[in-house]
Amino acid sequence: MPPDYYALLGVAKDATTGEIKKAFRRIARDTHPDANPDDPEAASRFRAAAEAYEVLSDPDRRRRYDRGDTIDIGSLFGPGGLDDLINSVFGGGGLFGSPPRRPARGRDVLVRAEIDLAAAAFGTSVPVRFQTRSTCGVCGGTGAATTSGRETCPDCGGTGSVRVARRSLFGTMMTVATCSRCHGEGVIISDPCPTCRGAGSADDEISVTVEVPAGVATGTRLRLSGRGESGGRSGPSGDLFVEIVVTPHPRFERIDDDLVLRASVGIAEATLGTRLEVPLIDGDVTLLDVPAGTQPGDVIHVPNAGMTRLGRRSRGDMHVVLGVVVPEDLSEEEEELLRRWADLRGERVNRNAPAG
């Protein structure tokens, strides 16, 4: 009776090809003899899993297996045997090999930029300066003093990787490893640049003008791709992140996309109503109608006079919170009028001490 290949891989009978491959990759790493040198049963478990994968990953073999047909096990593996199977499943690096090392990427850089609230409302341009490593201006980032000072690595032929033979219970298996001579770059520097000493980058002070969009808030980070630290001879540059700090405004308070402004009116103005001139964040002024009978803390809403919403054209609102000023230094005439007003209102006031 043939083995239950589905059970060997731990997959359902309706498993997709991708699920079968994923299951085999996991089992292969766990059961390969190289990973289990003290387990004499590892080789048989690995070969059984490989056999199951070879049958179930091939649509024709899988159909014949599901029908109960006999599968010729001896014809499962190609001329390269398990080595070809491992490379087809795990790529050129093999089961335990490593692909060629990618060129090192430059580090990201974080700087902070202060802007005022009006600039945050409508956008601005702000210069920033920072220290980092930039592409060497002498060698242009090649790391070599001359064009002939940059040579193809003789060990890997410029590929950055070499094939390494690994011996196992199944024979010699080829894996791919990063070239130790050029460290995966594929080139060696025989005549280094005297300025960067072959690194391709050098310490520098950078100045960048950053376009700040309307609507930013403290903590907003703007990303400038490729404007960070240089990756040296062959690596890509990192990114520049500019973190915005919006300084407090002397009159406006920001709440999300809205602005709050506190303004005051006199007792008579609050009682009888008035027109009040208030500033706007863009530097203009507007006139507000303060209704008669306004109480301390009443709010007048001014639509579309707040902050620009980030990434949109619309704006928030402005909320004017009204306070009522109580005079502290009345003249005799003002005091007499106010006492008469209190009598008319039936209010009890202090008759002994003069106001102010």
Positive or negative CA dihedral for 227, 230, 233, 236?
negative
The alpha carbons of the chain give a radius of gyration, in whole angstroms, of 39
Q: Which pLDDT belongs to residue 167?
A: 60
Helix (H) or strand (E) holding 320: strand 318-325
Can you give the pTM of this predicted structure?
Answer: 0.61
For 172, half-sphere exposure in the C-beta direction (CA atoms, 13 angstrom radius) is 4
Find out whether 200 and 232 touch, Cβ atoms under 8 Å.
yes
Intervals of the chain under pLDDT 50? 79-81, 91-98, 169, 356
- pLDDT by residue (tens digit) across 19-51? 988 888 888 777 765 656 666 676 677 778 888
Q: Which pLDDT belongs to residue 263?
A: 96
| CA 76 vs CA 48, 85, 99, 169, 332: distances in Å | 12, 10, 27, 19, 113
Q: Which pLDDT belongs to residue 92?
A: 47
- pLDDT by residue (tens digit) across 256-271? 999 999 999 999 999 9
Cα(186)–Cα(234) distance, integer angstroms: 10
Q: Which pLDDT belongs to residue 79?
A: 44
Read off the DSSP letter of residue 4.
-
Q: Which pLDDT belongs to residue 96?
A: 47
Q: Which pLDDT belongs to residue 175?
A: 65
Q: Which pLDDT belongs to residue 93?
A: 45
Q: Which pLDDT belongs to residue 34?
A: 60
